Amino acid sequence: MKTISSSIIVPSRLVFIMWAIYFLEITFHKNLSMFGILPRTLIGLPGILAAPLLHGSVSHLVSNTMPLLILGTMLYMFYDRIANRVFLQCYFLTGILVWLFARPSFHIGASGLIYGLAFFLIFFGLFRKDFKSLLISLVIMVFYGYLFYGILPTQPQVSFESHLMGGIVGFFNAIRTSTAKRVSS
């Protein structure tokens, strides 16, 4: 198991970039949401990389900051040998699936990544069935179990598709990696 200070490096760097981009948007009065994912279009392809870094408001950014820091740190702390692969797959595969299957609208925000990480941590423990993984799964369920409702289309301005695709990527990552011999530090 790694320390918190070494486990928070990747998630905190991503959060720093998200805040820096939002600060630049505010400072220069630019809306960068047009660089989000616009499904099934060439101009929407760069959004696969850019969308998790872009946020529509301070409240959107704040609501993504703490879950990303907490879930990302837990991933890197307890599953450091597979953390980079899981993190990157949740980031990029979620974006690719949103680009392929979401409704035609700009999709921005890190919530797809957050859903991917949460679903991975929840289901990895359920599939792996060792004490540590089950405990992590239980903790995530207690604090983030409400995320299961976010995969439903409840608000037209919220990209439930990002939530759903992130959840799918996290779930299948958990299935695939739970059969590995040894994935924790």
Could you report the per-residue pLDDT of 121-151, keeping only the tens digit for each? 999 999 998 999 999 999 999 998 888 888 8
User: What's the token pair of residue 46?
Assistant: 């760069």
Report residues of the chain scoring pLDDT below 50: 183-185
pLDDT recorded at residue 80: 95
* DSSP type of residue 35: G
Residue 42 CB-density burial (10 A; 0-12 exposed, 13-18 middle, 19+ buried): exposed
Task: For each of the domains in the chain, give its residue range(s) and CATH number, in order of start.
Answer: 4-178 (1.20.1540.10)
pLDDT at residue 181 in the model? 55
Residue 36's pLDDT is 98
Segment holding 88, helix H or strand E: helix 80-101
Dihedral, 58, 59, 61, 63 alpha carbons, nearest 10: 160
> What pLDDT score was predicted for residue 151?
87
Tokens of residue 55, six digits: 């946020």
Is the pTM above the cut of 0.75?
yes
CA proximity to 35, closest of 56, 14, 20: 56
First CA to last CA distance, the chain: 5
For 144-159, the pLDDT digits (tens) are 888 888 888 888 888 9
